[in-house]
Structure 1
Amino acid sequence: MEELKNLSEPPEFWKHLYEITKIPRCSENEKKIRRFVKEKAEEYGFNSNRDDIGNLVVYIPSDNGNPSATKIILQVHLDMVCEKNSNIEHDFSKDPIKTKAVEIEGEKWVTADGTTLGADNGVGIAYCLTLMEKISKGDITFKNIAFELLFTVNEELELTGAFGLDGSLLEGKYLINLDSEEDDAFTIGCAGGIRTYGDITIEWEDPSEMLDNIVPLKIKVVGLLGGHSGADIHKPRGNSLKILGIILWKLNQQFDLYLSEIEGGNRPNAIPRESMATIHIKKDKIERAKQFIEERTQEIKDNLGLEEPDLDIIVEKGNVSPSNAVFEKYFTDQLIHLLYILPHGVFSMHPQIEGLVHTSSNFASIQREDEQLKMVNMQRSVSKAGVELSKEIITASFLISGLDVNVHYSDGYPGWEPNFDSKVLKFAKATYEEQFDGEPIVKAIHAGLECGILKEKLPETEMISIGPTIKGPHSPDERLQVKSVEKVWTLLVNILKKFE
């Protein structure tokens, strides 16, 4: 505890954060932290309730028990991402997080020793416990506000807590989420998303009569940066599957090739960094084909510029399959056409928020499973119409391919459309300007947040997300800026006072 003492106001925050770091709380293992919060609520004299999925709600009545008090929801999640460096011995199921205060470029930060800190979203839990304690002691009073403190589970994996929330436990018309990571920014919107799958049945051909004339070559696209398919989709980064598709399409126009394998990418929410294909081409065209690939590679590198300095396209001897089979020629041609035309990247930008992607699609992966090629695409948009439109465009691309393809979809998750006229945003902006003599950044993000799901369950509730500055979340480099803790506490309390 010594390393977290007297770091900044309020001291209760640091006390609670320290207690939280001692409790295992990886995703899907939130029982102990939920029990801890529930017992703290009881200690401070507040009732609580939980739903079937495991979310907890703590109820704090107004100071005078006013039945018509404004109800405000403060929302955080209980779980954390559990990651550690390979040289660190740490059992997240039982070991406490080892915290330490460090100074970086003159700024004081709190971090962990080789593991994630869990500031995401331990800070939110600590703020809520601080509020409980201060209200119970009479250090802060709210005569006309009643609080509903919502602690959700499993945010970091599949957002199952938000999806499974029993909305009947909540009545608040305003919600402040405490899971943002920049102390000068308010988040007021996020993208919804869906995955579109194309399962393509492979058509084979026996090239026995051609074996003396064709040879296999393996083409590999490597060295790309990749990135998050929401946060990085607008950046000029290469998609290894799209680059492979360009090479194969141009090559097929010149040299009339066959394919026998193709794969790339592995996660729906990641821009693929590496891909490969095995082609079969006539012996007398090998050298010309290699030169052709080298020329196209240089064109692609020139197009991507300095953004992808390590991009490389490697051509090496391929292997003949045990059956000597290759993809049937029509199947090869149509598959290559599909790879070339399948959309990837930004569809449109937001008309009101500068720099925000409105709608996008990520061509995420191709993997072979038995006799099928499984393609995964992920669409995101801040609007339902955008998700639907991008999904339909991907679907149409599959259906016009002429291949035997089964198109199906994930359940998806809703977006959170920005409301620039909400009362909670107006109060937050006015408070920031009064307290810190400057203007906050008002933004939305092109990724999924719990608020998108909660907004669908609580459609009449106005929402905003705030939080202290956190760097390197989800990694052992995660750190919490000390001075931003007091800044966001001051901001939060004074926003709430405006509802009085």
Structure 2
Amino acid sequence: MTSINQLYPQPLWQWFEQICAIPHPSKHEAALSAHIQAWAKEKGLAVTEDKVGNLIIRKPATAGMENRKIVVIQAHIDMVPQKNNDKVHDFEKDPIEPWIDGEWVKAKGTTLGSDNGIGMASALAILGSDDIPHGPLEVLLTIDEEAGMTGAFGLEAGMLEADILINTDSEQEGEIYMGCAGGVDAEITLPMVWEAPAEGYQCFELNLSGLKGGHSGVNIHLGRGNANKLLGRFLFENAEALQLELTAFSGGSLRNAIPREAGVTIMVPEEHVAALRTKVAEFEALIREELAVADPDGTLTLKEAATPSRVMSEQSQNTLIDLLHACPNGVMRMSDEVEGVTETSLNVGVISTDEQEVKVLCLIRSLIDSGRTQVEGMLIALANLAGAEIELSGAYPGWKPDNSSPVMAIVRETYQDIYHKEPVIMVIHAGLECGLFKKPYPEMDMVSIGPTIRFPHSPDEMVNIETVGQYWQLLLAVLERIPTKD
């Protein structure tokens, strides 16, 4: 079998194939949105685009189920655009290329977009079906979830009529999610003083690649290497002894993805070139040993580069290196209430150098507001010590667990009846949109389910084929069991 559209359930996979064919990275969802709207209108479905670009599609109940509570199935339209260095791909123009690898569907050199394309495909497949029983149904497709949750922030009260929301953005079959972390972006801006490079120096580009990366919430506890932090560590340990002069630092591309790659441009005295090569080889061996289980394939490459017109002043360079090395990263605290779940974390996601400054973009996540506030304070204090500016933006709330949720009970009981085993009730260390929906719809009962997705937000992303079928069966059975209105 070479085409995903023959997999079970076919209506879902056929829609996912269409989704992959239409570029839809965050902030560039218009083409896919237009395709969906045209299809919905052709099917005679009521479709509304709200003022921020979210889509709301309504379908009447099947015969005999008109008195059931209204359900909204929710997914986000956008996907994370990440690719391998050797992959030529324009996410705004080129289709995703899904392929079947045994039990999994993957993409060729890029993110797959199963996060949240499978959930979106399931909702659209149900809208297009004539033989799936359900009560009154709404489908909410939000924009820009991965790059700022613009759609969820912009959803207004009164747009939805539903009593129950089923979020489809979870990533582990057999787990039912009833809570999630909140988060906030932190951007540290360090001003640079530049000077002319010294005589008798050679210029090199030092690049770190080959790390696994991954979702900065779901994968943060796995101990994978952060390319930004590792290169910062190399500079901290070697810049003074080798008399390095730094001219640029860049790493990562998204604040919510663990950076897989980073690079620096450095000047080194000609008499220290051999020592630099030795230190690079030693550091590569060191990180491979340290990360032998979690992330064993980190690779450092050193190549000659053209001499730049400027380098950082000694003070600017030292401050930047100290800032990067001191900046916390990874798991800050594990949850006491939910075993095995990260409570608070920080991802040093993106570093960039421009004309006047170096910017460091981080994403803080926490299940509790006080945990987020504590890490915010740590970064503020660090920025103050470095003479840098810091801006906190895009804060979004967590989704507080509700153990008495009726829909969670329905999903749990339905799962037990179908699969004859207990599902795991979970809280996820990631930013599901449910927390934001609670503001305009405080009384809405919410739950989140999904198939098994591995390594989201990285080119290694894959979705397990069997669990897509299991998720589909569960979703359809839950819709059939939705209770009547009071």
What TM-score results when the alignment is normalised by the length of structure 1?
A: 0.75
Query: Higher mean Cα deviation, 58-67 or 184-193?
Result: 58-67
AA at the equivalent of 1:230? G
Partner of 2:230: 243
Partner of 1:439: 422
Partner of 2:208: 222
AA at the equivalent of 2:35? K
Q: Deviations over 1:42-82 (max 9, x none)?
A: 4xxxx555423342141636967988x63432223456789
Give percent identity, aligned residues only.
28
Q: Deviations over 1:268-302 (max 9, x none)?
A: 23333233242556x77776676666666655444
- Determine helix, strand or coil for the equivalent of 1:485: helix
Q: How does 1:294-309 map to 2 (within 5 A)?
A: 298-309=285-296
- Determine helix, strand or coil for the equivalent of 1:334: helix
Partner of 1:162: 152
CA deviation after TM superposition for structure 1 residue 377, in Å: 1.8
Partner of 1:33: 36
- 1:458 and 2:441 equivalent? yes
- Determine helix, strand or coil for the equivalent of 1:367: strand
- 1:381 and 2:396 equivalent? no
- Determine helix, strand or coil for the equivalent of 1:169: coil
Aligned length: 465
Q: Any stretches of 5+ residues in structure 2 without a counterpart? A: none
CA deviation after TM superposition for structure 1 residue 398, in Å: 1.3
- 1:369 and 2:357 equivalent? no
- Determine helix, strand or coil for the equivalent of 2:315: helix
2-side partners of 1:246 and 1:87: how far apart? 28
2-side partners of 1:264 and 1:50: how far apart? 38
1-side partners of 2:62 and 2:268: how far apart? 74
Q: Deviations over 1:56-114 (max 9, x none)?
A: 141636967988x634322234567899999999999899x9999x7x76x7x889999
Q: How does 1:273-352 map to 2 (within 5 A)?
A: 273-280=261-268, 298-313=285-300, 320-322=307-309, 326-352=311-337
- 1:187 and 2:172 equivalent? no
- 1:406 and 2:389 equivalent? yes
**8 A contact 1:20–1:33 mirrored in 2:** no
| Aligned CA-pair RMSD | 4.5
Q: Deviations over 1:399-435 (max 9, x none)?
A: 111x3x2322332443333333422212211221122
Q: Deviations over 1:360-385 (max 9, x none)?
A: 11222332211222222222223333
AA at the equivalent of 1:261? T
**8 A contact 1:428–1:495 mirrored in 2:** no
- Determine helix, strand or coil for the equivalent of 2:187: strand
Partner of 1:201: 191
CA deviation after TM superposition for structure 1 residue 353, in Å: 2.9
Q: Deviations over 1:113-168 (max 9, x none)?
A: 999685452122113443xx347xxxx475xxx54433434556654433322331
- Determine helix, strand or coil for the equivalent of 2:430: coil
2-side partners of 1:114 and 1:326: how far apart? 35
2:343 to 351, 354, 358: 358
Query: Higher mean Cα deviation, 20-29 or 410-419?
Result: 20-29
The 3 A distance-change label for structure 1 pair 121 and 291 is same
The 3 A distance-change label for structure 1 pair 398 and 6 is closer
- 1:497 and 2:486 equivalent? no
CA deviation after TM superposition for structure 1 residue 499, in Å: 2.5
Partner of 2:140: 150
Bigger Cα Rg: 1
2-side partners of 1:185 and 1:417: how far apart? 17
Query: Higher mean Cα deviation, 312-321 or 326-335?
Result: 312-321
The 3 A distance-change label for structure 1 pair 49 and 315 is closer
2-side partners of 1:414 and 1:499: how far apart? 29
CA deviation after TM superposition for structure 1 residue 169, in Å: 1.8
The 3 A distance-change label for structure 1 pair 36 and 439 is same
- 1:396 and 2:381 equivalent? yes
2-side partners of 1:239 and 1:141: how far apart? 45
2-side partners of 1:493 and 1:309: how far apart? 42
The 3 A distance-change label for structure 1 pair 479 and 92 is farther
What TM-score results when the alignment is normalised by the length of structure 2?
A: 0.77
CA deviation after TM superposition for structure 1 residue 309, in Å: 3.3
**8 A contact 2:74–2:120 mirrored in 1:** no
Q: How does 1:261-276 map to 2 (within 5 A)?
A: 261-267=247-253, 268-272=255-259, 273-276=261-264
**8 A contact 2:48–2:56 mirrored in 1:** yes
2-side partners of 1:20 and 1:285: how far apart? 54
